[in-house]
A and B are shown apart, each in its own frame.
Chain A
Amino acid sequence: MAKLTFKTDYCKGCGLCVDACPKKLLQLAKDKINKKRHHPAEITDEAACVGCASCAMMCPDCIIKVER
């Protein structure tokens, strides 16, 4: 199981990580708004994450830390 840490307040809600995830585990949190006034990215099912770090590679703002 992998652990993802998001620097939520740095997220600009571009959604590139959502598309990059091969298992489609990420989404933009529609019910949350961060300091930058965006819907931040979040993981829906951390237990299913394999920690491939595709989302972190794709994130233009470098907000995702991946641990395995």
Chain B
Amino acid sequence: MSNVTNVLLCGVGGQGVLLASEVLALVAAEEKAQVKQTEVHGVAQRGGSVVSHLRFGDLVYSPTVRTGTGDILVAFERLEAVRYGHYLKPGGLMLINDIEVMPGQMGEYQPYPTGIIEFLQSKAFKIEEIPATALAKAHGNSKVSSLIILGALSSYLDLSQQAWERVIRKRIPPKLVDINLQAFKVGVEMAQAKAQAAVDRAECN
């Protein structure tokens, strides 16, 4: 089943991980024979850790991704990239929104860990940090950061830009379609600029 693409989206409840994974699943449904997506609903609606598994291709049985087989892990928050990193295959791509959301505290105060990116780099993943939240704020609406993240993600997936646009138009409330499409485009352009920069660097070397 090598033609199955495995994607994980993770973050903190309230960040829009579930909406983003629904949009991705709908886009995949437009272009692939089979799509499976799963997540855990439960008591940790807000502030808890959230992970969504997505698998699409010709023939997909299990909705859950095996550890060590994810092609791409999209973390809407840095710490969550560490929590679910072991689902990614060796050399797999991590797209990390470069923000830190402090977990709620139950007992003794624990500071937010430092050195996350260095730690993940030591695991030999391909890591792309994206300033989605900052870009969303710069565009006047912090809530569209998840569409910026999806825009960046779209550059790494074999799904057409037309399908993304169709789904965003269908799934997002009409009032918010334009701002979300703009955010998506910001994400696409950011990823393309990063790719170009990588090419330029390679040529310099």
Binding partners A and B: no
Q: A residues engaging B (CB < 8 A)?
A: none
